[in-house]
Amino acid sequence: MKIRRTLACSVALVSVCALSGCGAIPGFGDGTTKVTVWLMKDSASDDFVQRFKQGFEKEHKGVELDVRIQEWTGIGEKITAALKGGDAPDVIEVGNTQVPQYATSGGLLDMTLESLRDWGSDAWLPGLAQPGNVDGMQYGIPWYAANRVVIYNKDLFGAAGITKPPKNRAEWLADTAKLNSGSTQGIYLAGQDWYTLAGFVWDEGGELAQEDTGDWKGTLDSPAALRGMEFYKQLQALGRGPRNADEATPPQADVFAKGKVAQMIAVPGAARAVQKANPKLADKLGYFPIPGPTDAKPGAVFTGGSDLIIPRRTAHRAEAVQVVAALTGEKWQTDLATTMNYVPNKSTLAPAVEGQAGTAAMAKGAAQGRATPNSPQWAAVEADNPIKPYMTAVLGGADPKKAAKTASDRITTLLFP
């Protein structure tokens, strides 16, 4: 009987350990499990982090959160090393498009079951959820989103007799042409704003690249993608943005702040830079989602933002899952969105930001959000970025199909592992 009692105790201990992720077990030691969370700098305010930490620990007795803020510079190498080693944190914030490269290491926890059963994954924004799903398994859980909208000068719209924002591409082109008069630019659109181009390509049913029997290839030369580039060319011509530079050269917010640009395409946060450069524009800024081909829905947009991942080797699996569940649940999603002017991770939570004009416009567009191709090698494409010179060539009069074929071939080469 003594042997049986000892065996029973051992089985019970193993069972508790498995359920608790082998963390501290109540009744053993001090009963506290420390869960380490890496969040990126400026993703959440100090006040939000403290509110979450205190709230989570109050609801989960015996769990202590150790939140460590990370710098974006060099974070890829740091996370990769942590996933390979034995001292990885328990929860990590990563850029939404970075999930595939970490998933290929085999070092991430599969959270497909929780996503489907508990977390309402069917309502997640596609631009966050899609890159977090690799080979049918959900490794990245959407945390927050941000995407581009049209920021416009209300005074210039009024002077042109435009009383409401356009709802489709045809109206947008017509209004922009009307605004593009005299010293006023109808829109400031740099020639190499490839994220904006991506949205136009997706609206036409095209892709930047596609997977074919396991291999990826560039597809900018498809008829649909070429139609997206043609629309970009028409819109870009209704202003004086440089053909051979992106939106950061010069910073488009500085150009807009001079008061002679009617529209620019940017995240709503760019309004702060405009207002800092020209405080007189503070109450003259409006926002609307990038128009789509028809009135039915806004245009497609690239969704930036962050997902949360859990290293497979975490010693505190159950607690890490609880942290992810809380951060991505309604309570803390609403808090984060209103605090940081982000789009919540679910379309059903969009009403939480209706009182913030820029964020509300962003949320409407986010419902049509997309992410860059879900290839672990996509970072190599962005580093080399053959899309930019392709755009400049077309805007300069080069044959679109030939220029697109050159860019597509380069993308294919970069995506070959």
pLDDT value, residue 87: 83
- Contacts of residue 64, Cβ cutoff 8 Å, sequence gap at least 6: 32, 33, 34, 35, 57
Beta-carbon count within 10 A of 356 CB: 16
Give the distance, in angstroms, between the CA of residue 210 and the centroid of all CA atoms in the same chain.
Answer: 20
CB 330 within 8 A of CB 336: no
Q: For residues 410 and 261, give the distance between their C-alpha atoms in angstroms, rounded to a whole number.
A: 35
Q: For residues 325 and 371, give the distance between their C-alpha atoms in angstroms, rounded to a whole number.
A: 23
pLDDT value, residue 337: 96
pLDDT value, residue 14: 37
- pTM of this structure: 0.88
Question: What tens-digit pLDDT sequence spans the chain (417 residues)?
Answer: 333 333 333 333 333 343 334 444 443 446 799 999 999 999 999 999 999 999 999 999 999 999 999 999 999 999 999 999 878 999 999 999 999 999 988 999 999 999 999 999 999 999 999 999 999 999 999 999 999 999 999 999 999 999 999 999 999 999 999 999 999 999 999 999 999 999 999 999 999 999 988 899 999 999 999 999 999 999 999 999 999 999 999 999 999 999 999 999 999 999 999 999 999 999 999 999 999 999 999 999 999 999 999 999 999 999 999 999 999 999 999 999 999 999 999 999 999 999 999 999 999 999 999 999 999 999 999 999 999 999 999 999 999 999 999 999 999 999 997
State whether residue 333 is helix, strand or coil: helix
CB 388 within 8 A of CB 354: no
What are the beta bridge partners of residue 133? 138
Q: For residues 391 and 269, give the distance between their C-alpha atoms in angstroms, rounded to a whole number.
A: 26
Q: For residues 208 and 220, give the distance between their C-alpha atoms in angstroms, rounded to a whole number.
A: 6
Beta-carbon count within 10 A of 54 CB: 11
Helix axes 223-236, 194-203, angle to 10 degrees: 130
pLDDT value, residue 11: 36
Burial 312-326 (b: 16+ CB within 10 A, else e): ebbbbbbbbbbbbbb
Quick one: which of 144, 86, 104 has its CA closest to 349?
144
DSSP category for residue 74: T
